[in-house]
Homo-oligomer: A and B are copies of this chain.
Amino acid sequence: MLRSSSTLAAMRTSRSLKFDPVDAAREVWKSKGWERAASGMAAITSIMRAHQLFLAKANEVVRPFDLTFARYEVLAWLAWNADCGSLSLSQIAERLQVTPATVTNAIDRLEADDLVRRVPHPSDARTTLAEITPRGRRTVVAATAELNSRVFEAVNLTKAEMESLIRLLVKIRVEAGDFSTNGTAL
């Protein structure tokens, strides 16, 4: 599974540091006597920095589709994880960990681009559903192909490392309340 990942390597910019800033911060924490917090600080800061890098890359890849990665995620949920291609706005907020206002803005923009349309809920008049359009389906398929080849397949970890990373992140996501497992083994 070790692949050359020239695309991600191309993310290197002149802003690339000559030292690991997380490691530098960790040394500070140790020198201050904050040993107990040092590794947690390093883990969380590493997550935040990795997030920044991948979000920037993902946004760049979906920009030609007039999407942000956040709007892409809305489309992907509607296309593939929703009954009949529709979800209520509050279901979208829940799944994407964002505020209702953020969902409203995303849906406004997707609707203006004819990728999504608002439809009334068949049995609950107070609920509005977002439904993906045929154009939305074509767009999410095309954007996914680009994300797969340029971002997701380019993660340079072995299969075992990838599983290990996903498993460790599940553990802290559950602890932080991302989802509940009802005693499912991690």
Q: Which of B24, B166, B172 contacts A22 (CB 8 A)?
A: B166
CB–CB B168/A161 < 8 A: yes
In chain B, what residue has the closest Cβ to A98? B52
Interface status of A122 (Cβ within 8 A of chain B): no
Q: Please judge, given known A-B contacts A36-B148, A49-B97, A155-B40, whether A16 and B178 are in contact too, CB under 8 Å.
A: yes
Q: Which of B48, B144, B178 contacts A49 (CB 8 A)?
A: B178
Interface status of A65 (Cβ within 8 A of chain B): no
The segment from A3-11, A107-115, A123-131 that touches chain B is: A3-11
CA distance A38 to B163 in the complex (A): 11
CA distance A149 to B37 in the complex (A): 7
Q: Which of B156, B166, B179 contacts A42 (CB 8 A)?
A: B166
Binding site for B on A (CB under 8 A): 5, 8-9, 11-13, 15-22, 24-25, 28, 32, 34, 36-44, 46-55, 57-58, 76, 80-81, 93-95, 97, 144, 147-149, 151-157, 159, 161-166, 168-173, 175-182
Known contacts A25-B76, A34-B148, A156-B172; 10 additional CB pairs below 8 A are: A9-B177, A16-B178, A17-B95, A36-B148, A39-B159, A40-B151, A40-B154, A42-B162, A43-B165, A161-B168
